[in-house]
Amino acid sequence: MNNNQIVLDALKSKLETVKNAKDLHYEEVYQPAINQKTAEVLEWFKINVSSLIPGLSINGSRIEIFKAESPESWGSLTISLDSDWHSEERSRYAKMNWYGSSATLKDENTLLDVQVFGAVANKLHFIQHEFINVWYPAMLEIENPLGNLNDEIYLIEQSIRETEANMKNDVIETYKKPGFECTLNPKLDIVRDWVDGKYTEYELKEVRHEIKLSFGRSNYDYVYVNSFKVQKINKYKAWIEVISNLDKPVVRTQIFEVSTKKFNDFIQDVYEWQNGGSERKASGMKILFEKYYATKTA
């Protein structure tokens, strides 16, 4: 096992541990604290602003007051805590936003919402004071530990991606070394034969897979490759021996001179196919076969 694999295994183990810690913190600490603080703020609004407010949600920078017709989910008005970035103190202030609508005497829920708008507007200076000095600091205490765990998860996932990329690049470099030989994994295809004047049933069958190798300036300068050997490579060019007729007594080969760019593109395609690409393709073909072809005949 190489060093990258050891590092990758350790990172994945650590990621699992931190994710479990985050889930536990969310369920046992964060969510109960949010529920309690939401209830406290809602009670304050009912007493000090309007008893018509059906419900609300709160985070560190936003309070959302729910609509009368959807008292648990849909907001009719929000109070956001913004900062004045043009002032030297960058002082905070509360800003209310509401949806535009219209109402008649029949639209009782909308009229209730409008009464809430007026009550919030009338008490916005009190709301602003509580939001800045009481609720915002309290919400930070609740949200920061969960945020720190999320940040740690992000950094670990980033390290995992970097380590996997390094491992991938190491393997690709081995594909480019002179002497490297490769026969592509077969692909799974949906086929049927013509026997005695009629088609047989569809079946899944492994068939030869080929990848396009461009070797010249023209769009027509290419060959489809199933098996090859890297002969040599320098800063500007690579020489690839393409092997054909593997199933015949006489094996034919031909060497193609390609630019480094086209060689690298070809090797990248080979790597992707050999390292998961053929399996993903096979999985897709199995699903397609079962859905459309499993019971079909000519």
Q: Give residue-wise pLDDT tens across range 233-243.
A: 999 999 999 98
- What is the rounded average pLDDT of the residues 61-85? 83
Q: CA-to-CA distance for 39 and 41, rounded, in angstroms?
A: 6
41 contact partners, CB below 8 Å, separation of at least 6: 56, 58, 63, 135
Residue 87 pLDDT more than 60?
no
Q: Is residue 173 part of a domain?
A: no
Q: CA-to-CA distance for 11 and 154, rounded, in angstroms?
A: 12
Q: What is the pLDDT of residues 263-286, one digit of tens each?
A: 999 999 999 999 999 999 999 999
Q: Say what the pLDDT of residue 298 is.
A: 46
Q: Is residue 128 part of a domain?
A: yes
Quote the Cα angle for 61-63-64, to 5°.
Answer: 135
Is 12 in the same domain as 159?
yes
- What is the rounded average pLDDT of the residues 83-100? 76
Is 117 in the same domain as 30?
yes
Q: Is residue 170 part of a domain?
A: no
170: enclosing H helix or E strand: helix 136-175
38: enclosing H helix or E strand: helix 31-48
- What is the rounded average pLDDT of the residues 180-195? 92
Is 285 in the same domain as 216?
yes
112: enclosing H helix or E strand: helix 108-122
Is 158 in the same domain as 199?
no
Residue 16 pLDDT level (bands cut at 50, 70, 90): very high
Domain extent at residue 220: 181-293
Q: Say what the pLDDT of residue 98 is.
A: 85
Q: Is residue 298 part of a domain?
A: no
Q: Is residue 11 part of a domain?
A: yes
Is 44 in the same domain as 145?
yes
Is 96 in the same domain as 147?
yes
Q: CA-to-CA distance for 270 and 18, rounded, in angstroms?
A: 36
- Could you tell me the two tokens for 278? 């053929």
Residue 232 pLDDT more than 50?
yes
Beta carbons of 62 and 41 less than 8 angstroms apart? no
Q: CA-to-CA distance for 263 and 239, rounded, in angstroms?
A: 9
Q: CA-to-CA distance for 172 and 264, rounded, in angstroms?
A: 9
Q: Is residue 172 part of a domain?
A: no
For the chain, how many structural domains are there in total? 2
What's the mean per-residue pLDDT of the chain? Answer: 90
Strands 252-259 and 237-244: antiparallel
Q: Is residue 270 part of a domain?
A: yes
Q: CA-to-CA distance for 33 and 26, rounded, in angstroms?
A: 10
